[in-house]
Chain A
């Protein structure tokens, strides 16, 4: 390689700055969480007497265990459902190219750029009329619907890249469209679907607007929605708020770290 020496040095500096800027907010959350509850500690100072008990207190008052279970349940609904709906749709749009596929894709593209605020009010009333307000299933359905455009877009791009010969040979063997999809294309789409699944997991876990609008009870919300409620209640106690925020975000980070390691 002919990479210059100074270039490598510059790379190191940029990297260092990026890592520093990325980590400082987490570090500040962490050290602030260790100060005595009810105080207003100056930024990034290690407390004289670390209050590890703040985490226990926050764990209890933010009902972290219940919220994590709730986020897990919601993700268990959203991720498979979205995949199950988006995979055949992406296949049809990217590979089968049936008559009218452009119009359908155009409809999904609208959802891709749509600010959620444009649907949230009627969605609230619709859920109320369906009796799904304040339920996890209502939130799951709404999240599936709003994530569908991206999921379809993503998988369509994958299926569009699959050579048509694959289908043709399977058809010669007498397989119908469904078998071809199930037995030939779906297994090949594993990398695309699994990375999509991770994205959907993260987005569901961290989803805020619909969680606070459609579900009033924080214990039935996503982690981000519950954190909003926790701030609404404990926002005045800074160390406790930080401890609560960390308890609600680290589990997902841990899961992602595991996935990242397994992925290598």
Chain B
């Protein structure tokens, strides 16, 4: 009768052996930041043989792909393996993509945690070599990350962009004419126009708020900057010590947005509308206004030539400077990239090459980054691209640009802004609680 017992013991031991997970704690030592701050001492380039660069871009933004095509045309030895994904998917996959299967160039969400984890290459060496340091400092400020990931805005450069961008309000000129709309000089005037549009049976605002994209963050942050100050929002976004989002001015902005929602300025299916559908509603003439960025200027000029206007979100009191979300769409080179020099060479080419800069304006509709004296391609006068380029220059001159507050921490977009703003759109929860909850999540995340 010792059979069963002995067999039981055998099973036990065998399984214990198979399952033996060791009592060691999971994980290894922290990768030592990839230690890539080393100075670049020779021209970073793509070498002489054929190179395949792997890149991960954002769906719906054809500029990056167009630039890679042009680059290959000029440098036939360099070909690209490009994959495109929606922003929310990219955001979700970025950490493990960079850790386990790093491409050469990635469109990134927020870079501070990725930089702190040593997953991104420090680009200071390249910046020094190529002279990016000589550009207006504000352009690349958001891409600098302090030691340990915070605060952002100072420290080594961890990403680059092709263009600056600027947000504001696009409007449909045909619908605007129907309500006798003139570009507002104060927030109250804009409110008035929204009310008149609603009264005339026009959907005042095209918006999006589905998925994990927190679409209402665009209008909300615009209102926050109007009621408060862009630099206070940036302090929070950059994780400066002591910065809070639940200030009285910002809370006033939430209440303002809530009034818009209650008044029915957005379509009722806002929480089921994604970015592309918002764009479709605006371009098909089913909404008067759309709070969005100049990355759509070229598309709007193509789809509705001459029929779109743009203004920066007006201030509370007439004559005050107008704020906007600005900042380059972020592209980083992973610490584990196979061809970092070639990727850096491409980034520099994209902002200095004449053809590349023309593409940025024509395809991206945005102002190319680069040295102050660089060639600025001509644009069609009267086009919305021309208007947004002027607005971008104005915001830069006033110093009223700010980063997107959804970039504050790795998880803040999907875990806080998205659900809280969807609740706001659904008429749930108190406006005053919204920012308190976001602040609590933020504090929790920054603590870690």
Contacts and interface: CB of A to CB of B under 8 A. Distances in A.
Interface of A: 38-40, 98-100, 103-104, 107, 125, 128, 133-134, 216, 229, 232-237
Given A232-B85, A232-B86, A236-B59, A133 B101 contact: yes
B275 interface: yes
Interface residues of B, number: 24
Given A233-B86, A237-B276, 20 more contacts: A38-B280, A40-B277, A98-B7, A99-B4, A100-B7, A100-B8, A100-B10, A100-B11, A104-B11, A125-B26, A133-B101, A134-B100, A216-B93, A216-B101, A232-B85, A232-B89, A233-B83, A235-B86, A235-B274, A236-B60
B3 interface: yes
Given A128-B100, A216-B101, A236-B60, A103 B8 contact: yes
Given A38-B280, A100-B7, A100-B8, A234 B100 contact: no
11 contacts: A39-B280, A40-B280, A98-B7, A100-B8, A100-B10, A100-B11, A128-B100, A133-B101, A232-B89, A233-B83, A234-B59
Contacts of A38: 280
A234 to B, nearest CB: 7
Contact of B101 (A107, A134, A235, A236): A134
Q: Is the interface of B mostly helix, strand, loop or mixed?
A: helix
B97 interface: yes
Closest 5 CB pairs of A and B: A236-B276, A232-B89, A100-B7, A99-B7, A99-B4
Interface of B: 3-4, 7-8, 10-11, 15, 26, 59-60, 83-86, 89, 93, 97, 100-101, 274-277, 280
Nearest to A236: B276
Nearest to B58: A233
Contacts of B275: 236
B100 A133 contact: yes
A48 to B, nearest CB: 16
A38 B284 CA distance: 12
A225 to B, nearest CB: 13
A233 B59 contact: yes
Given A40-B277, A236-B276, A100 B4 contact: yes
Given A99-B3, A100-B7, A104-B11, A236 B100 contact: no
Contacts of B93: 216
